Structure 1
């Protein structure tokens, strides 16, 4: 289980660099291996989405490609009509397990310690 004190986060977002640092500190990979592993993970996900495939991460959620139809738009400054072309977008749907964990954090937040945990390892068999 990865543990990061909330106050140590420089930004409210978790970054790839922070993930690589966690692999370095808590698993013992060297910094280069950690960075390469994180980059490879996101590259695989990106390539699958570019190819039009859905990406399903058990216990986390699903990334899906959706095609948005063309539609009329409007320039908010001038009011001029501008056509918006059809495009592909990525959507994310959290798994029920993740939703339940997030909801549990809200219910228990009054007495919770200021600690964020990330489990990046598969369950041990």
Structure 2
């Protein structure tokens, strides 16, 4: 079995093609092509992974993925806004957002590969 990492950067670029985004289907394809999972098992694995991350974030906990980064829930404070057309104030309640903080290894990897393109 192969290891997915910096050595497989060319494979990932090939799978992405002209697109600049990686989606679930692309991840499933990497598991199928590179690791030899069946298509069904790849689909189940990717779906279960994202469901698990979503479930943990929904509890308010942080999700750390070694060498990738971390996802955390951060709240936006309650604010009052003035609408100049209506000439009245309205409130924007507190809201929770998910933030991703890339790891040092990920940022170094991206920086190295972008410099190789230049």
- How high is the TM-score relative to the length of structure 1? 0.75
2:76 corresponding residue in structure 1? 68
Q: CA deviation at 1:30?
A: 1.2
Alignment-derived partner of residue 25 in structure 1: 33
Match of 1:98 in 2: 106
* Higher RCO (Cα < 8 Å, 6 or more apart): 1
Structure holding more helix per residue: 2
CA RMSD, aligned part only? Answer: 2.4
Alignment gaps of 5+ in structure 1 = 111-125
**Bigger shift: 2-11 or 58-67?**
2-11
CA distance in 1, matches of 2:98, 2:43: 24
Give the total of aligned pairs. 110
Matches of 1:54 and 1:45, distance apart in 2: 9
